[in-house]
Amino acid sequence: MPVEPLLEVRNLSLHRKDGARVLCELNFEVGRGEILGVVGQSGSGKSQLLLSLLGLQMRGALLSGSARFGAQELVAADESAWRGLRGRQIAMLFQDPLLSWNPYLRIGRQLVEVLQEQGMKAGDARERVIGALADVELAEPERLLQQYPHELSGGMRQRALLAMAVLGSPRLLLADEPTTALDPTTQLRVLQRLRALSAQGMSILLVTHDLGVVAAVADRVLVLEHGVIVEQGETTQLLRSPVSAYARTLLNAARELEGLSCLS
């Protein structure tokens, strides 16, 4: 149990407009500087959970329960509260790096804009952006600022996107399969950066299918199945003796590929 929870979720449920249940009575917390892995099959509600924490749940859907982010109750937050939270306090890193960029604007313009919105002068903002790109190990950041998203490789786009997501120094980063589309060496760099950010105190909710990613960076894991948390616990513990059927199947498939013995 984290000492100082940044996000405390209690009995959080999400029902679609037609009454169908998407998330059911979720209870969990994320500590300051903690990386919480969220694992589950497609359709288990992982992405809906992240979107709900940004107030971006499906139109007409009903969110109930409580999600306390510091002193702010997210479930009851109005638009003006969300404007202060999104991007500044809670940021999102999407899976597909190409869809997240505006194809018409240069990388530099899109990054600098984030800081200018927050009242920073253009010159200072540019300097910060160059630093942020260097932090994700992108070479020649000055040149990168002049380029359009399509001119970058997938791995570069995803790393630049990570740089953008954390420009406003959010306290909570929601990352939806951020390394699924990446090559192994690029994936490692992104994971290293996430680790470094959490060491600086940023909390991260990391949605993934890949238990290798979980093993590498997550402090704790929760397993979601049909919108219900079927298991949560410390990463090492869960990877040694998973309780839920889904985690067990996924783990044994990965273990077989690695040439490790399967868990009984």
Least CB distance from residue 9 to other proteins, whole Å? Answer: 26
| Three-state secondary structure call for residue 260 | coil
Q: Which helix (H) or strand (E) holds 240?
A: helix 235-240
- Based on CB atoms, which residue is closest to other proteins, 79 or 258? 258
Going by the DSSP 8-state scheme, the letter that residue 110 receives in this structure is H
In 3D, which of 170, 164, 127 has the Cα closest to residue 178?
164
* Residue 236 interacting with other proteins (CB under 8 A): yes
Q: Contact between 253 and other proteins (CB under 8 A)? A: yes
**What's the CA angle centered on 202, arms 201 and 203, to 5 degrees?**
115
Regarding 185 and contact with other proteins (CB under 8 A), the answer is: yes
For residue 117 the two structure tokens come to 């919105």
Choose which of 24, 81, 215, 228 interacts with other proteins (CB under 8 A): 215
CA 79 to chain centre: 22
- Note whether 88 binds other proteins by CB under 8 A: no
CB 217 within 8 A of CB 201: no
Q: What minimum distance in Å lies between the beta carbon of 139 and other proteins?
A: 16
Residue (73 or 183) nearer to other proteins, CB: 183
**What are 188's two structure tokens?**
């490692």
Output the CA–CA distances (angstroms, integers) from residue 91 to 20, 161, 165, in the order listed: 28, 11, 6
Tell me the per-residue interface mask from 6 to 45 with other proteins, x by CB under 8 A, - otherwise.
-----------------------------------xx---
State in angstroms the smallest separation of the CB of 243 from other proteins: 16
> Is the backbone of residue 96 left (phi > 0), alpha (psi -120 to 50) or beta?
beta
Least CB distance to other proteins at residue 97 (A): 13
Q: Judged by CB under 8 A, does residue 256 bind other proteins?
A: yes
Does residue 245 bind other proteins (CB under 8 A)? no
- What's the min distance (Å) between Cβ of 190 and other proteins? 10
With vertex at residue 130, the alpha carbon angle to CA 125 and CA 136, rounded to the nearest 5 degrees, is 125
Three-state secondary structure call for residue 53:
coil
Stretch binding other proteins (CB under 8 A), from 14-22, 93-101, 209-217, 221-229: 209-217
Interface residue with other proteins among 61, 88, 210, 233 (CB under 8 A) is 210
Residues in touch with other proteins (CB under 8 A): 41-42, 153-155, 183-188, 191-192, 195, 209-217, 235-236, 239, 249-260
